[in-house]
Amino acid sequence: MPAIETITPETAAEWLRAGKAVLIDVREPDEFRAEHIALAMSMPLASVAGLLGGLPDDRPIIFQCQKGGRGAAACDIASAERGNRPVYNLAGGIEAWKGAGLPVAGAAPTASTGISIFRQVQIVVGTLVLLATLAGFAGYPAGFAVAGLAGTMLAIAGLSGWCGLALLLQRMPWNIPRRPSPRAA
């Protein structure tokens, strides 16, 4: 497989302004809604393979995620399916884009944590699996069962698109947007 070509945020911005490329944001929909590059189209990584046929063939495709990992995975998928059509990964993702002082659209992520629901689910489930596995190795075999259950639930969420933990986390106080209080006259 050929090496993944990257593009700097500044070059990507120049190409996008000139209409010379198409930008695809491969993050999850809640991440896109929270904050995205204005000219980006949302196409979560899981749907890239099925939607590549609808992309233009006359311009390079730039894939973008939070920091570059999912963008690289999308480049691999696109390279395998698009043949010689040029695809690029935005080096450093939206984080590098913002670091270069380029504008983004959308509201700030969550109210006070700044962490998307998607990442919060990863943190909670990852911590649960780690602790349950450690408990299993410490002589509590039920820990392995809890780790297996957490993995199963995560797989079901990925396959179905429904995640009870994400719904629960959305209702947590740190994820509820705060309304500005009226100023005293």
What is the set of active-site residues?
Answer: 65
Neighbours of 147 (CB within 10 A): 20
Q: Which residues are within 8 A (CB) of 120 and not within 5 positions of it... i.e. 6 or more apart?
A: 110, 113, 166, 169, 175
Do the beta carbons of residue 132 and residue 153 sit within 8 Å?
A: no
Alpha carbons 178 and 158: distance in angstroms, whole number: 30
Residues in contact with 129: Cβ distance below 8 Å, sequence separation at least 6, in sequence order:
147, 150, 151
